[in-house]
Amino acid sequence: MQVSNIVLAQGVSDLNSGLAAIGYGLGAVGPGIGVGLIWAAVINGTARQPEAQSKLMGIAWISFVLVEVLALIGLVVYFIASGG
């Protein structure tokens, strides 16, 4: 009886790691799309008004950092959920 409980617990742990990996993969899609939209807006804005490039780049870098923090939080949650 005790051996089957250990095997069952190991199976649940493996399932939890797999689900955490899938969850992180899905969670990384959002920041990826966000980064693409940020830099597309900077390129469009610079093409329309080249003299505004310095202001646009400052805003873009701040936005980029905020979006990437979301991806890093997702990575931390993945490691916590997978158990190491």
The domain limits of the chain are 2-82
pTM: 0.70
Contact 7, 62 (CB under 8 A): no
Distance CA 19, CA 5 (A): 21
Contact 13, 7 (CB under 8 A): no
Which fold, 2-82?
F1FO ATP Synthase (1.20.20)
**Residues sharing a CB contact under 8 Å with residue 75, sequence separation 6 or more, in sequence order:** 24
Question: Over the stretch 41-78, which tens digit does the pLDDT of each residue have?
Answer: 999 999 999 999 999 999 999 999 999 998 898 888 88
Backbone angles phi, psi at 83, to 5 degrees: 85, 25
Name the more confident of 74 and 7: 74
Beta carbons within 10 angstroms of residue 80's beta carbon: 10
